[in-house]
């Protein structure tokens, strides 16, 4: 519930299977902002009053590696993965998910046994989701970095590890939108726009972008929306309008608001499906 502060910290060298990264860019997600706004929910982490470096979307260049690191080397361009990918646990090996079990959001607050690689005046600084992309240098587990093409723009690649994978993957891998489909996406932030992009590349014929911010209309259409609806400008519920048009085959909630979830569900045709992306 208090503003971020700019501090000088120390970042220790990586150990074992850790990687130290010089950050180039970071994305800002509402999951970070919840703590700044003082709007934590039961689903959010409890830092126990300890200082923490926020940020879980980022791109940078590997500065040094621990002795056990094999997948990346010094100079590689990488993005951060707030959700680890060990490639070995039962869920990483499962054909329908890669919701890795190797570490959890609480264990990633520390690097090992209550110790972190980041310190301020000798005190441990917690690492948000093990990534802490708001720091100029970070130490992350090898399972939380992915090497990317060095030709990619690091200033925009920062959102791939969270927003893009979440929105795009929900459309392509979870909902499996088909060519000619009729879709709508509620919430046109980075996740929602990534879902729109997924619908477009899947060949959807109708892609409706829904947002109460009128400024989102232009960028929504740039990403592939065939239509933009602002529910606050309607004379009747959006679900009533969409039902009169035959309903949706695919609806995507990228907000997590109960009223939005209800509207999206009620907008479906009899065989339609709703994918809940917001939390």
> Which pTM does this prediction carry?
0.84
Angle among Cα 196, 202, 204 to the nearest 5 degrees reads 70
Q: Do domains 10-159 and 164-276 have the same CATH topology?
A: no
Q: What is the pLDDT of residues 149-171, one digit of tens each?
A: 999 999 999 998 888 989 999 99
Q: Which helix (H) or strand (E) holds 124?
A: strand 123-124
Residue 199 annotated in active site: no
- Output helix, strand, coil percentages for the chain, rounded to the nearest 5: 25, 25, 45
Give me the catalytic one of 29, 158, 183, 225. 29
Q: Tell me: pLDDT of 42 over 70.
A: no
Q: Which CATH number describes the domain made up of 164-276?
A: 3.40.50.720
**171 three-class SS:** helix
178 is catalytic: no
Return the structure tokens found at 35: 């703590």
Task: Output the pLDDT for position 64.
Answer: 98
Judged on CB neighbours under 10 Å (0-12, 13-18, 19+), 90 is exposed
Active site residue 86: no
Catalytic residue among 25, 34, 86, 269: 34
Residue 77: active-site member? no
pLDDT in tens, 244-266: 999 999 999 998 888 999 999 99
Contacts of 277 (CB under 8 A, 6+ apart): 166, 167, 170, 191, 195, 252, 253, 254
Kindly report the CATH class assigned to 10-159: alpha beta
Query: Which of 31, 132, 170, 267 is an active site residue?
Result: 31
The catalytically annotated residue of 111, 127, 158, 162 is: 162
Catalytic residue flag (residue 31): yes
What does the domain layout of the chain look like in residue ranges?
10-159, 164-276
């Amino acid at each position: 519930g208090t503003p971020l502060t700019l501090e000088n910290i120390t970042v220790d060298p990586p150990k074992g299977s850790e990687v130290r990264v010089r950050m180039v860019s970071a994305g800002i997600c509402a999951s970070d902002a919840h703590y700044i706004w003082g709007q934590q929910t039961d689903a959010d982490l409890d830092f126990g009053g300890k200082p923490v470096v926020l940020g879980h979307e980022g791109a940078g260049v590997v500065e040094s590696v621990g002795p056990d690191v094999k997948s990346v080397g010094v100079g590689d361009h990488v993005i951060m993965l707030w959700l680890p990918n060990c490639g070995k646990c039962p869920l990483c090996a499962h054909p329908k998910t890669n919701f890795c079990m190797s570490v959890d959001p609480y264990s990633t607050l520390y690097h090992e046994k209550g110790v972190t690689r980041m310190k301020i005046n000798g005190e441990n600084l917690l690492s948000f989701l093990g990534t802490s992309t708001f720091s100029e240098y970070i130490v992350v587990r090898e399972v939380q970095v992915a090497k990317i093409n060095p030709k990619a723009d690091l200033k925009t690649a920062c959102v791939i590890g969270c927003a893009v994978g979440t929105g795009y993957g929900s459309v392509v891998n979870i909902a499996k939108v088909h060519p000619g489909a009729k879709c709508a996406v509620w919430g046109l932030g980075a996740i929602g726009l990534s879902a729109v992009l997924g619908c477009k590349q899947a060949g959807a014929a109708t892609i409706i972008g829904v947002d109460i911010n009128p400024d989102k209309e232009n960028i929504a259409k740039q990403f592939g929306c065939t239509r933009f609806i602002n529910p606050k400008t309607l004379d009747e519920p959006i679900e009533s309008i969409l039902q009169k048009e035959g309903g949706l085959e695919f609806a995507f909630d990228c907000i997590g608001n109960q009223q939005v979830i209800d509207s999206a569900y009620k907008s479906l045709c009899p065989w339609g499906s709703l994918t809940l992306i917001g939390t």
